[in-house]
Amino acid sequence: MNDRKTRIKTFLVRYIRNYELNDDTDIFGGGLVNSLFAMQLITFLEKEFTITIEDRDLKLDNFRTINAMDNLIENKT
Amino acid sequence: MEIKLSEQQKRNQTAFRDFVNKEIIPHANQHDKEERIPDELIKKLARKRYFGAVLPEQYGGHAMDYITYGLLNEELGRGCASVRAFMMMQNMVALTIHKWGSEEQKERWLGRIASGETIAAFALTEPEVGSDAMHIETSFTDADDSKFIINGHKKWITLGQIADLFLVFGKKRGKLSAVLVEKDTPGLTKIPIGGMLGVRASMLAELYFDNCSVPQENLVGRAGFGFVPVGITALNLGRYSIAWGCVGIGQACLEACINYASNRRQFGDYLKNHQLIQEMIADMTVNLKAGRLLCYQAGQMQEEGHENAIMEIMVAKYFTSKMACTIASNAVQVHGAVGCSSDSAVQRHLRDAKIMEIIEGTSQIHQIKIADYAYREYAE
């Protein structure tokens, strides 16, 4: 697991407890999180990786899994 | 950790306070009675760039940091909750367009909102949908590739009577979405709402959308992202504004009580020397300081982009709205019959404070979210 994925997972496990989270776990499809979490996730990604999430990034597939978020960050840095 | 305003923040705070003392407080009860804010005051607020308080300067904004924006809300809230709500609404919509709007939307609207040329409103609530925003009934139906049709009914919309631009929430192909709708759109009807308990000059309206045709490019964010992140971006700023505004209400009540209790004599002594009055003054002071500290903390976290800022803003809004109700109620008690008169500011503050426990998330919804937050933060 690369450093980015580790940092994303460290953040996620604070919210998603008692669940075996891997890089391909669909955190939205599984009903594991709520709407406020989604906002906190965006805030976290922006600050932690010094990126700006924009209108064009708003696709659920960019945020479903640790791998997807890692790809999004990769493409924005 | 140091909680200390910068010299610039202090200068801004003084300027905000002077403006409120001169331009707002002498007329606030009149706003309340007439249920509207005069055009001349709206122009003065715009000239101060308060409508673009959080926008960058390139759009005519003030580019305030979140602490400075909080101080502005405290001072406006100290003067008149309706004026604060007016300013809040402009910044809620402006920030949301700035964060999630297209370049064309930013270019077209942000400068106009900041200058006061365009008055913006946030249209989420419906007759049957308040806290349960996911079940909004307003529909956005695709007409073709360039347009969609809005049908629905919004209610309790702040500034709905005078707004030029509405950020409207509805469902597009079943997905929560947000769209900008101009006031002259055929099929949009506005019905004023009056006689509310508090924040009476916020010029509420019902909005009826009857086959309103809107360009697809008016969508803010993508279909399905209307509530998160678009709506929550606005609501988060709104809650932050309300939290500080409640500190302002509390401060106004405390100052009014200190003044009144220092001059009113009963049983041969000033009220301020009666211990049961002292108890109320002490409790007001302590709770006000606690509420203000919560606001400072939430503002600093928001400024730093901390992921928990959204929750700390909820904590602050929940605490300060409850606090403002208690302080304003006790302020009326200290003033006795004088406090019950329509000429008194404290009775207006009491009515306004109650509204703060309801808007932008009720206290009960906040309690549920704060409890979830506590389980997450403090669970082993």
CATH number of domain containing B324: 1.20.140.10
What pLDDT does A1 receive? 62
Q: What residues of chain A lie within 8 A of the CB of B308, using their CB?
A: 40
Average pLDDT, chain B: 97
Q: Tell me, yes or no, whether B91 and B26 share the same domain.
A: yes
Answer whether residue B364 shows pLDDT above 70. Answer: yes
Whether B176 has a pLDDT exceeding 70, the answer reads yes
Range with the poorest average pLDDT among B1-15, B183-197, B315-329? B1-15
To the nearest whole Å, the CA of B376 is away from the closest chain A CA by 7
Residue pLDDT, tens place only, B298-322 = 999 999 999 999 999 999 999 999 9
Q: Are residues A41 and B236, on separate chains, in Cβ contact within 8 Å?
A: no
Task: Give the C-alpha separation, B222 to B176, whole Å.
Answer: 9
Q: Which helix (H) or strand (E) holds B181?
A: strand B175-182
Q: Do B304 and A47 touch (CB under 8 A)?
A: yes
Residue that finishes a domain, picked among B119, B147, B177 = B119
Could you tell me the residue range of the domain that residue B209 belongs to?
121-218
**Rounded Cα–Cα distance for residues B278 and B353 (Å):** 22
pLDDT of A5 over the 70 cut: yes
Q: Are residues B289 and B237 in the same domain?
A: yes
Note whether B176 and B266 are same-domain residues. Answer: no
Domain edge (last residue) among B201, B218, B235: B218
B22, B65: one domain = yes
Distance from CA of A28 to the nearest CA of B (A): 13
Distance (Å) from the alpha carbon of A14 to chain B's nearest alpha carbon: 7
Catalytic positions of B: 360
Dig out the tokens for B7 from the structure.
């010299």
- Which of A18, A43, A46, A50 best probes binding to B when mutated, by most B CB atoms within 10 angstroms? A43
Tokens of B11: 């200068």
Is residue B287 in some structural domain? yes
Asked if residue B257 belongs to a domain, the reply is yes
How many A/B residue pairs have CB atoms within 8 Å? 54
* Cβ contacts of B275 within 8 Å, gap of 6 or more: none
Contact status of A42 with chain B (Cβ, < 8 Å): yes
Residue B1: CB atoms within 10 A of its CB come to 4
Whether residues B105 and B144 share a domain: the answer is no
Q: How far apart are CA B217 and CA B115, in angstroms?
A: 23
- From chain B, pick out residues whose CB is under 8 angstroms from the CB of A41: 307
**Residues from chain A contacting residue B371 (CB–CB below 8 Å):** none
B2 domain-assigned: no
**Which residue carries 């840095």 as its tokens?**
A77
B200-247 pLDDT per residue, tens: 999 999 999 999 999 999 999 988 999 899 999 999 999 999 999 999
Judged by CB atoms closer than 8 Å, whether chains meet at B228 and A44 is answered as no
CB spacing of A39 vs B306 below 8 angstroms: no
Q: Is the pLDDT of residue B26 over 80?
A: yes
> ipTM score of the complex?
0.90
**B205 and B315 together in one domain:** no
| Domain residue limits, chain A | 3-76
β-sheet bridge partners, residue B264? none
Which residue type occupies B164?
Answer: D
Please report which helix (H) or strand (E) contains residue A1, including its range.
none
pLDDT tens digit string along B78-123? Answer: 999 999 999 999 999 999 999 999 999 999 999 999 999 999 999 9
Residues B255 and B361 occupy one common structural domain = yes
Give the distance from residue B96's alpha carbon to the nearest chain A alpha carbon, in angstroms: 11
Q: What is the pLDDT of residues B365-378, one digit of tens each?
A: 999 999 999 998 88
Residue A29 has pLDDT above 90, yes or no: no
B167, B196, B218 — which closes off a domain?
A: B218
pLDDT tier for residue A33 given thresholds of 50, 70 and 90: confident
Residues of B in contact with A42 (CB under 8 A): 229
Q: Between the CA of residue B201 and those of B70, B80, B366, what are the distances in Å?
A: 21, 9, 26
Taking CB atoms and an 8 Å limit, are A55 and B222 in contact across chains?
yes
Which CATH number belongs to the domain containing residue B174 in this structure?
2.40.110.10
Asked if the structure places residue B1 within a domain, the reply is: no
Whether B231 and B373 map to the same domain: the answer is: yes
Report the distance separating Cα B380 and Cα B378, nearest Å: 6
Interface test with A, best of B228, B367, B378 (most A CBs within 10 A): B228
Interface contact flag, A47 B307, Cβ < 8 Å: yes
**B135-160: per-residue pLDDT in tens?**
999 999 999 999 999 999 999 999 99
B191 and B144 Cβ atoms separated by less than 8 Å = no
Region B184-195 average pLDDT: 98
Per-residue pLDDT for A28 more than 90? Answer: no
Chain A residues with CB under 8 Å of B306 CB are: 43, 47
| Cβ-contact B328, B300 below 8 angstroms | no
Q: Please indicate whether, in this complex, the C-beta atoms of A55 and B221 are within 8 angstroms of each other.
A: yes
Nearest to A44 among B222, B229, B307 (CB): B307
In the predicted structure, residue B360 carries a pLDDT above the cut 90 = yes
Chain B residue numbers touching A40 (CB-CB < 8 A): 307-308, 310-311
Residue B243 domain-assigned? yes
Please give the residue that has the higher pLDDT: either A56 or B70: B70
d(CA B218, CA B68): 31
Q: What number of residues does chain A have?
A: 77
Give the CATH architecture of domain A3-76: Orthogonal Bundle (1.10)
Cβ pair A40:B227 closer than 8 A: no
What's the total number of domains in chain B? 3
Residue B244 belongs to a domain? yes
